[in-house]
Structure 1
C-alpha cells in the first residue's frame, strides 16, 4: 500500500513540475538565451570598442604629426573628425589639440572658450577636464587677469590633484602680477615644499621665491616707515 501512495506522490510531484515548467520554462529558456547572446554581444562590443579606440589612437597620432610638421589644415580636419566620432578619451584630446591650434594662431579668446567648454563637459574624464582648465589658465596668464585665472585653477591646487604643480605656479604668478607678494610667496613656497614638484617647476619657484623675498624686504620697510610717519 505504501508503494502505491509513493507512486501517486511521485506522479503528483512530476505533474506539478510539468505545470510549473509549462508556465515558466519559456522564460527560463529566454533568459538563458539572453545571457548567452548578451555575453557574446558584450564580448563583441568590447572587441569593437577596443578596435575603435586603437583606430582613433592611430588617427590622433597621425593628426598630431601633421600639426607638428606644419600641415595645419590636414591636422584640423583629422582632429575634427576624431572629436566628432572618436572614443570619448581621444575625442576630448582632439578637442584640446584643436583649442591649442587656435592659441598657436593667436586667437586666445577662441582657445580659452574651447578649453572652458571641455572643462565643463561632464562626459569628459575629470583628469582631462582639469587639464583643460589648466590650459585655459596658462593662456590667460599673459593677460594678467588674476580673477579669471583663479576661477579656473584654484580647485586644482589640492595635495591630491595631479595638476597641482602647474595650478600652484599659475596662482603664484597671478598673485605676483597683481603685486600681491604675500600671495605669490605662499604659492611659490607650496611648490618648493612639495617633494613631488617637477624639477623645472621647482627651479622656477625657487628663483621666483628669491625674487619675491628681495622685493618684499624693501616693500615691508617702506610700509613700516609709512606707519611711523602716520603715528607722528
Structure 2
C-alpha cells in the first residue's frame, strides 16, 4: 500500500513540475541566455582590454626607443598618439614622457604640461607628485622661492609621499638661492631627520648645509 502512495506522490510531483515548466520555461531559458551572454560579453571585454594593453605596451616601448635614439620629434609624436588611444595606465605614462620630450626643445611648455598632469585628479597620486617635481625642476632657474613652496610644500610634508625627499631638496636649493637661510635649514633638517632619505640625497643636503651661514648664538 505504501508503494502505491509513493507512486501517486511521484506522479503528482511530476505533474506539478511539468506545469511549472510549461508556465515558466520561456523565462528560465531567457535567463540562461542572458547569463551566457553576460559571461561571454565579460570574457570578450577582458580579451579586448588585454589586447589594447598589449598593443599600448608595444607602442610605448617603441616610443621610448625613439627617445633613446635622440629622435625626440618622432618620440613626442608617438607619445602624443598614445595619449589619445591608450588605456589609462599607459596614457598617464605617455603624458609624462611626452612632457619630457617637449622639455628638450621648450622647457616652459614642458613645465605647463607637467602642471596639467599634477592638477589632473584622474592621475594617480605618485604620478601627480612626479609631475610636480619635474615642473619645479624646470621652473627652478626662473621662479621664486614662494612659488616653489606653493608647488612643492604638500609633497614635501606628506610622510607617505614617494617624492618627498626630492621636493625637500628642491625647496632647500630654492631657499638657498633666495638667500633665505632659515627656510633652507628647515628643509635640510627634514632631510637629515628622515630615516628613509636616500644616501646620495643626504650627502648633497650635507654639502648644502655646509654652505649656509652659522646660526647666530643668542
Task: Give the TM-score taking structure 2 as reference length.
Answer: 0.83
- In structure 1, runs of 5+ residues without a counterpart are 225-232
Q: After superposition, where does 1:60-139 map in structure 2 within 5 Å?
A: 60-105=60-105, 107-139=106-138
How many Å separate the matches in 1 of 2:26 and 2:146? 66
Counterpart for residue 146 of structure 1? 145
CA-atom RMSD in angstroms = 2.8
TM-score by length of 1: 0.78
CA distance in 1, matches of 2:89, 2:202: 30
Partner secondary structure for residue 51 of structure 2: helix
Equivalences, count: 216
Structure 1 pair 56/15, CA: closer, same or farther in 2 (3 Å)?
Answer: same
Aligned partners of 2:172 and 2:184 also within 8 Å: yes
CA separation of 1:37/1:138 partners in 2, compared to 1, >3 Å: closer, same or farther? same
Cα deviation, 1:161-192, whole Å, max 9, x if unaligned, reads: 11111111122222223322122112112112
How far is the alpha carbon of 1:27 from its aligned partner? 4.3
Structure 2 gap segments, 5+ residues each: none
Cα offset, 1:28, TM superposition: 4.3
Provide Cα deviations, 1:167-223, integer angstroms capped at 9, x if missing partner: 1112222222332212211211211222222222111111112222xx144xx37xx
**Is this contact kept in 1: 2:108–2:139, CA < 8 A?**
no
Is the alpha carbon distance of 1:100 and 1:26 closer, same or farther for their aligned partners in structure 2, counting shifts above 3 Å?
Answer: same
Check 1:30–1:118 CA distance in 2 against 1; reply closer, same or farther (3 A cut).
Answer: farther
